Amino acid sequence: MNVDVLDPLVAIGVADDGEIVIDEAALVLAAADRPGLDLAKPRLWLGTLAARLAALAGSAAGSADRADALVRLLAGEEGFTGDADTYDSPENADFLAMLKRRRGLPVTLSILYVGLARRAGWPAVPVALPGHVIVRLGGEADPVLLDPFSAGRTLGIAGIRMLLARALGRNTRPDPAHLRPMGNRETLVRLVSNQAIRARKSGQLARALELSRRLTTIAPAVPELWWERARLEQLVGDRAAARASLSAMRETTRDPAVIARIREAERSLTR
């Protein structure tokens, strides 16, 4: 299949996880709310940042020196950091708006950090903590953990404990399960889900449904996303669409409990 001729969101959905260029995909997702937008300028801007990063880093081979160059560029020279004042603003979960404002959520900022590091040829992944996203730069032998939301602060054990305490309670001890690297698609799902959750909480059902459809397009093999889409379609009164979403969900699973749940939901839609 030639993904170059597909709708950009569909192309993300059919790509293997490792083929997804995470910052480019985040641009495409943000552009979905701006029909007709030419992404040439933001793409050029990311390329310029990548060139500046390469110049700052020079021949740095260790993760600590690379992290220092990345933070100096993004937090120091460009002022990228978290928006603690208006955290729930939809702009914080919009990659294009984040690039313009230099403010965003942990996930949007982490995508920028990871994307630029990878453009430099450095290993980097977003890492999911409870209620937070950070960045791991480097491989298993010399990892550096950065918190883009806190202006790229390097995180040691004390920093991780503080973030875990904030999310899970003061006596939580760091555990490998709390530092889970995320794949490209999972990170993008987390990005769009932030927008969808906020839309749903504010009563914007049409917007939440639009974002839910976007999620099932970029991650069609995730059953929970089809479930949420069907739920929203039912709430707006589109039972036919809800049944179609449940049918699509059935194609993603062989779990008998999940299939039984789908069948019960389908029966409820025919009553």
Indicate whether 82 belongs to any domain: yes
Question: Does residue 244 share a domain with residue 142?
Answer: no
**For residue 165, what are its two tokens?**
């305490």
Do 229 and 150 share a structural domain? no
- Do 163 and 230 lie in one domain? The reply is no
In a domain, 213, yes or no: no
Q: Tell whether the model's pLDDT for residue 88 goes beyond 60.
A: yes
Q: How confident is the model at residue 174 (pLDDT cuts 50, 70, 90)?
A: low
CATH number at residue 25: 3.10.620
Same domain assignment for residues 52 and 152: yes
Given a cut of 50, is residue 201 above it in pLDDT?
yes
Q: For residues 122 and 64, is the Cβ–Cβ distance under 8 A?
A: no
* pLDDT value of position 271: 74
Confidence at residue 222, expressed as pLDDT on a 0 to 100 scale:
97
- Expressed as residue numbers, the domain containing 256 is 221-269
* Residue-level pLDDT at 1: 43
Q: What is the DSSP string of 82-108?
A: E--TTTT-GGGG-HHHHHHHSEE-HHH
Which residue is it, tokens 């707006």? Answer: 236
Claim to verify: residue 45 and residue 177 sit in the same structural domain: yes
Residue 3 has pLDDT above 60, yes or no: no
Q: Read off the pLDDT of residues 138-153 as tens digits, 9 standing for 90 and up.
A: 987 889 999 999 999 9
What pTM was computed for the model? 0.93
Domain count, the chain: 2
Candidate from 53-67, 98-112, 205-219 with smallest mean pLDDT: 53-67
Question: How confident is the model over 89-136, as pLDDT tens digits?
Answer: 999 999 999 999 999 999 999 999 999 999 999 999 999 998 899 999
> Is it the case that residue 18 has pLDDT exceeding 90?
yes
24 & 141 share domain? yes
